[in-house]
Structure 1
Amino acid sequence: MNRWFPTLMCSALLYGTQAGAINVGAITSIIIPAQSVIAKEVINTVDDARLVSLKVERISSPMEGGKVIPMESKQEVMTTPSNLILPGKGKEVFRVFYAGPKDDKERYYRLVWNDNPVSEEGLSKTRKAASATTSATISTILVVTPRQEKFDYQYRDGVVYNIGNSSFRVVAFGPCKQPKTSEEKSKGCRERYYVMPGLGVHLKFVDINHQKLSVGIWHNEDYINVK
């Protein structure tokens, strides 16, 4: 393989997020080929009721620079509910359904969560003064892997390449290449990445030549040992 795949370092996409008053869980959600729906639990972290709404946009890429592009149909991605009033300290489940094409193409969507305070009359209100419970917008990512999936990868010289048509997660741990603290010397380093089709990730912190190095891939619900 002579072609160089750009490094994709997106560990931040994998974790939970909270802004304003609500917590919407993991930033990246994935619908695998065997699924058509996912559930997203939303938690109100404050004592006041909140109006929570959800909008879905299709995007060209989940990475920085991704642009909003048209859906192929109005029913491509649907949600229920589209909005609700969440009582103080309450939680509710939003469900996101994929009913788009069943082909070999991976698709990406932005889930836009709007969180607004609710008046005693149950209506959303706007506040100009900044506070922890004013209106907030949170964006998370939905990845729909191809319904006709081809999973494939290559590992060479500390680089994991995604040569299939669906994204996967790379995890690596082992002795650090250049340990900077006593903890790194004793416990080693860990790396986590999200790798899209046609890209590769270069392990930066672990010692790729050490015999205790472990590199693996999480594909759907399966763990594949790479090294």
Structure 2
Amino acid sequence: MFRRRGVTLTKALLTAVCMLAAPLTQAISVGNLTFSLPSETDFVSKRVVNNNKSARIYRIAISAIDSPGSSELRTRPVDGELLFAPRQLALQAGESEYFKFYYHGPRDNRERYYRVSFREVPTRNQTRRSPTGGEVSTEPG
């Protein structure tokens, strides 16, 4: 009997988590998660879509990696090797725009890998009271 209650409770908790997670599924859409830049070109663009119900700011960060996989060694790319524009992009709900990537590194036969991270930042300014009574502003910068 106790075992049955645990199974029912587990199912109820799982259902509650799934229902609560549903509103959180709206986010950024960047299409294919893997993209490549052929050696004969030095430019590629990546479309970003804001699937949220409100405006968002999207920021990008790039790190060089030794090889894709679970044990990546991340380093800072050599200055000027892989450029991108813009650094951040503000999109209204449903809008889309392109991030552009420019390769200005060595022209050789060596494959290079980069981890491109897109981060979503809410645009509204939130002011909260700290425990000491002061106000803390969390405006995106």
Task: Output the TM-score relative to the length of structure 1.
Answer: 0.44
C-alpha contact (below 8 Å) 1:44/1:91 kept by paired residues: yes
**Number of equivalenced pairs:** 105
C-alpha contact (below 8 Å) 2:26/2:52 kept by paired residues: no
In the alignment, does 2:137 pair up with 1:124?
Answer: no
In the alignment, does 2:99 pair up with 1:94?
Answer: yes
In the alignment, does 2:101 pair up with 1:85?
Answer: no
C-alpha contact (below 8 Å) 1:22/1:45 kept by paired residues: yes
Structure 2 Cα separation of the partners of residues 63 and 98 of structure 1: 22
Task: Output the TM-score relative to the length of structure 2.
Answer: 0.69
Aligned residue among 50, 67, 81 for 1:61: 67
1:83-162 alignment runs, 5 A limit: 83-119=88-124, 123-124=139-140
1:1-227 alignment runs, 5 A limit: 21-71=27-77, 73-119=78-124, 123-124=139-140
C-alpha contact (below 8 Å) 1:20/1:115 kept by paired residues: no
1:94 partner SS: strand
Runs of 5+ consecutive residues of structure 1 not aligned to the other structure: 1-18, 126-227
Structure 2 Cα separation of the partners of residues 20 and 58 of structure 1: 29
2:114 partner SS: strand
Q: Quote the residue 2:134 is aligned against.
A: none
Structure 1 Cα separation of the partners of residues 62 and 120 of structure 2: 15
The percentage of aligned residue pairs carrying the same residue is: 28
More helix by share: 2
Larger relative contact order (C-alpha < 8 A, sep ≥ 6)?
Answer: 2
Larger-gyration structure (1/2): 2
